[in-house]
Structure 1
Amino acid sequence: MLDADQARERLREILNRAEYKVYEDQPKGFLQSWWDDAKEWMARQLEKLFPSYEATSAAAGPVLAVIIVLIVIVLGAAAYFVVRNTRRSRQYRDKSPLQSMRELDWTSDMHLSEALKQEQQHDYSKAARHLFLALLLYFHEKKWLEARIWKTNWEYYDELKKINQNWADQFYHLARVFDEVTYGERKLEKEEYDKFRKEAMERLEEPEKTMEG
């Protein structure tokens, strides 16, 4: 009868035969190769950050798996928000901020007065909307752009950047908030409105000479 050492040696010889080794020699699939490469890369990064970390430890495999899954989740969430914001921008791209002739007939001061009225009533979304229209018509009155009921904010942006690129970029930021409030039914909280109001009022109070160049 074989003793324990002889039995182990016999088993090793059997497992080393070609018919048993063939499964180990098979090429890895794409996902398996990607997973192994990802774990290897992550292990190297962890070793750089934490010199005492040993990638070969028993806990290394589960730790790497958890980290990689978290990274994938974060990247997926980031991609989701980028796509969502892009779709929103395209959705509002063809809409005009002036929805009636009455809004175009108002002066910038009239829209500003209405914005302050809505602000006092704590309707910050409506206040932001009238504040943006006050800014738009202020630019129109200064002849930095030409307000028309059929024009979109993208067209106003193109006109404004011919005069001052920095102001055009700031206008674009305010226009995005305006679009979300007007068409996306976004409700502004006081803190958000205060930031919007501060930026818009800086434009309304800016001397005309800053638009030069």
Structure 2
Amino acid sequence: MIKGFIPFTLVDFPGKVAASIFTGGCNFNCPWCQNRSLIDRDSLSLIEDIPLNSILDNLKRKKGKIEGVCITGGEPTVWKDQLFDFISIIKSEGFLVKLDTNGSNPEVLQFLLTHKMIDFVAMDIKNVWEKYLMTIGLRSFSLNKIESSIELIKNSDIGHQFRTTLVPELVEKSSMEDFAQELDIEIHFQEYRSVFS
């Protein structure tokens, strides 16, 4: 499940000193993905899993120095039960948990929110509805799931952020600003950084 680990970060968890954990695998296939090695099956098979115990040992040694753990990917929610178990262990150690998600699994998100397993959630809004499937690299996907996740997050009582990566010639800032108004959310825009630059 765990394919990457950054023991110290000041940018991944707003307002917190944190560690970041990268899960492998994703149910989207965004052609512009900046973490391609974490979603491409051939690349993923070459990256060894990081043992949970080694990460927990590292986190325990940093108690008092870091406040939280950011779980990102890939798409963490594809791991469902393993994710629940992992977060439970992290929370039992006294760390705050931030989840990065594409919003594709609202039922997993609802479980995490209902059971107060996460303290902050950041959801990527890929594009306007008309261009969503093209942007996520799929021929079919229920966009109702994305809408459900947005509503769950909007109505939650935890810190949250909606983000959009401005991919040249694919995602237009002005269209996304209108889309944000339609959804009644605020979107944080991120500049696209090519993995080849």
TM-score range, shorter chain: under 0.3
Structure 2 length-normalised TM: 0.23
Query: Where is the helix percentage greater, Structure 1 or Structure 2?
Result: 1
Higher relative CO (Cα under 8 Å, sequence separation at least 6) belongs to 2
Query: Where is the strand percentage greater, Structure 1 or Structure 2?
Result: 2
Larger of the two Rg values belongs to structure: 1
